[in-house]
Amino acid sequence: MFETNDQGRVQDLYFAPEEGAHRWAYVSLTSNHEWFYVTYELSDEEVVNHQQLMIPLAPYVLSLATRDAPEAFIKSIQLVSPPWMNGSGTWLMQDLKAIRCCGMKFVYELCSGEIYPEEFSEAPAKTMWPKGES
């Protein structure tokens, strides 16, 4: 999960956020696990907007995906993976092709063809979210 505290809260001097919304100078990640950077597209007859969402868990991403409609949908997802998952020694942000489920575990197929966690690369898994054509 992401965490905020009062010290990170930004006072809005020029732009008022929507009622109930708050702005933060920073957030912290409370665990050493993957998270998702999602671009959500909203459109009407006149304008297309993109909203970036930081989502901490795969079930939340999948819940958002169930609401996809022609005028509001997930445009892209980037997996932000910790070193223990990606084997690189640093956090990586990579384009996601699919989220799959293998038993109780989530498996991530990247656009590069890599599979995380690697030990599930050959395991049968059900596709829960496939990247659509952009």
What's phi and psi for 80, nearest 5 deg? Answer: -105, 105
Q: Which two tokens stand for residue 51?
A: 């909203």
- Name the residue ranges covered by the structural domains of the chain: 32-130
CA–CA separation, 128 and 36 (whole Å): 15
pLDDT at 99: 98
Q: What is the mean pLDDT of each run of 10 residues along the chain (134 residues)?
A: 86 72 85 96 92 96 94 97 96 98 96 96 94 69
What's this model's pTM, rounded to 2 decimal places?
0.88
pLDDT at 16: 66
